[in-house]
Amino acid sequence: MQTHQTDYFTAYHNTKLTRDANGVLIVQLHTNGGPCVMTAHTHTEFVEAFYRISQDRANKIVILTGAGGDFITDVDWSSFGDGSDPGVWSQVHDEGIQALENIANIRVPVIAAIEGRAHVHSDYALLASVIVAAEGATFQDVAHFAAGVAPGDGVFTTWSYRAGAGRAEAFLLNPRPLPARTAQEWGVVAEVVPNGEALSRARELADLYLKAPEVTRRNTRVHFIQPLKERIVREVGYGLSLEGASAADLVKSMQAKTEPVARKGKSA
């Protein structure tokens, strides 16, 4: 028995949800209607939002996109508090795993429509069945190695699965914007379209997928995502533990640099 659950559509500050009469759900990640910046609140919100989306059988196709011409652009580090605090990182760790697992548990075809910068949590997009990217879209990881922490939150797992381990390691160790065309050559992006047309092309693909019977659509998504889901379960908890240790070390080193140096030769 299918139920229509729309009570969660207006429950979130950074996740705009709209669904058409055919059951195509557009999930737009945003900050105050503009490009999404990851905050502690957003991080928490996405866990529940993706869970509710995955549980709602009225969603026949899911399109994941951003706002203001971008996907996710940056991180507000201060909103997370003290990254060296085990209690703080415990929450980041658990939410990081849950968000990815909840996207992977969406049991209908997922299309990512990427315009502009996908510079934070591009792993969300790589959990889609298909990525449509605009010509000017770029992929980057500004939140990990470039910021001084290990990329353990699933970005390596998804990029190595889609593009290969060697490309993923080089991409994450030397974080520079990766053009959509290169991402297509790597097999990460399925289609590159003119700027401003990623979402409209995703809608066209959704209409195409809707021609298949519902059980076929659902089972195909389940079948295709299973190998990546298994890797998420095996790797991401461990990776986030490593990331947490590196975050604590980063905080420690930054604190050491700001502390006054004791004068040499000072008598006891």
CATH of the domain at 82: 3.90.226.10
**Domain presence at residue 6:** no
Query: What tokens does 263 get?
Result: 């004068």
Q: Read off the amino acid at residue 44.
A: T
In a domain? residue 28 = yes
Residue 129 maps to a domain: yes
Pairwise CA distance, residues 92 & 112, whole Å: 24
pLDDT at 257: 79
Q: In the prediction, which pLDDT does 253 show?
A: 87
Listed in sequence order, the residues at least 6 apart from 140 whose beta carbon sits closer than 8 Å to its beta carbon are 117, 118, 119, 122, 175, 176, 177, 178
Q: Are 129 and 225 in contact (CB under 8 A)?
A: yes
Q: How many domains does the chain have?
A: 1
Asked whether residue 1 is domain-assigned, the answer is no
Instruction: Determine, yes or no, domain membership for 235.
Output: yes
pLDDT of residue 260: 61
Which residues in the chain come in under a pLDDT of 70?
1-5, 259-268
Write down the pLDDT at residue 264.
42
Per-residue H/E/C for the chain: CCCCCCCCCCCCCCEEEEECCCCEEEEEECECCECEEECHHHHHHHHHHHHHHHHCCCCCEEEEEECCCCCEEEECHHHHCCCCCHHHHHHHHHHHHHHHHHHHCCCCCEEEEECCEECCCHHHHHCCCEEEEECCCEECCCCCHHHCCCCCCCHHHHHHHHHCHHHHHHHHHCCCCEEHHHHHHCCCCCEEECCCCHHHHHHHHHHHHCCCCHHHHHHHHHHHHHHHHHHHHHHHHHHHHHHHHHHHHHHHHHHHHHCCCCCCCCCC
Domain enclosing residue 228, as ranges:
15-198+213-258
Dist. CA 252–CA 108, nearest whole Å: 44
Q: Which tokens belong to 103?
A: 């996207």
Domain presence at residue 108: yes
pLDDT on residue 6:
80
| 46: number of Cβ within 10 Å | 26
The pLDDT assigned to 83 comes to 87
Q: What is the pLDDT of residues 31-40, one digit of tens each?
A: 999 999 999 9
Q: What does the pLDDT read at residue 150?
A: 97
Rounded to two decimals, the pTM is 0.93
